[in-house]
Amino acid sequence: MPKTQTLDPTLLDAVDVFAGLEPAGRERALRAAQWIRLAAGRQIFQQDQEADAFYVLSVGRLKVSQLTPEGQEVTIRYIGPREMFGCVAVCGGLAYPATATAVLDSWALGWTRRNIADLAQDYPQIALNAMRTMGGRLKDTQARLREMQTERVERRIAHAIARLVAQAGRRVENGILIDFPVSRQDIAEMTGTTLHTVSRTLSAWQERGVVELGRQKLTVCDPHGLVMIAEDLPNAD
């Protein structure tokens, strides 16, 4: 692996925090940067480590992985040339949420938080760019949170239907019928949610063929499908 890397100035174009900088600012940013050399297998930073620097990859390939609460190592994504990583250092995060490991011999350009703070003094555009990146991340996080809340409610509804099946199910031609009149309102009350949410959820499931709805009548057409929702089972590989 070469001991030095020639710097391609256009690499800066790939760094969103330096967008819209005048040439003098770009010069300063390039001079502040540090080359980081990573042999394959080396980690550049670890999950939960203090996030003091962010990087853009020049050459090579990295793997970004996380240890889940269940103790499993999961690969989140791969980083290729001209992609940024460790951005949480710019967004004001305190710790890296994941571990970055080189899978090929790699070179990256890095800036510390201190570098950015200093540069931002003279080039406020940098601070504005960072704010915009943070805003984007916040939006993504909020969307994911909403998704998770929806998933929880759906699991509760699926569980409730499974219990009704266990209690009063009867095998019919197109599935398992819940053999007594049950309304969306009943299910809403069983699950501590609203009629609106139950209606929306059951309609979506009907589209997918998991259930079939009648007048106060519910048939489970895809029992395994319902259980996959209720138990949050992973899809078959």
Q: Which residues bind other proteins (CB under 8 A)?
A: 162-163, 165-166, 169, 171, 176, 220, 223-224, 226-227, 231, 233, 236
Q: From CA 37, how far away is CA 2, in angstroms rounded?
A: 9
* Identity of the residue, 40 or 190, whose beta carbon is nearer to other proteins in the bound complex: 190
Looking at the DSSP bridge assignments, the partners of residue 50 are 95
* Identity of the residue, 2 or 234, whose beta carbon is nearer to other proteins in the bound complex: 234
Helix (H, G, I), strand (E, B) or coil at 231: coil
Helix (H, G, I), strand (E, B) or coil at 183: coil
Q: From CA 9, how far away is CA 7, in angstroms rounded?
A: 6
> Tokens 């890296």 correspond to what residue?
96
CB of 210 to other proteins, least distance (A): 12
CB of 202 to other proteins, least distance (A): 18
CB of 172 to other proteins, least distance (A): 10
* Identity of the residue, 119 or 162, whose beta carbon is nearer to other proteins in the bound complex: 162
Report H helices in 75-124.
88-91, 113-122
Helix (H, G, I), strand (E, B) or coil at 145: helix
CB of 186 to other proteins, least distance (A): 17
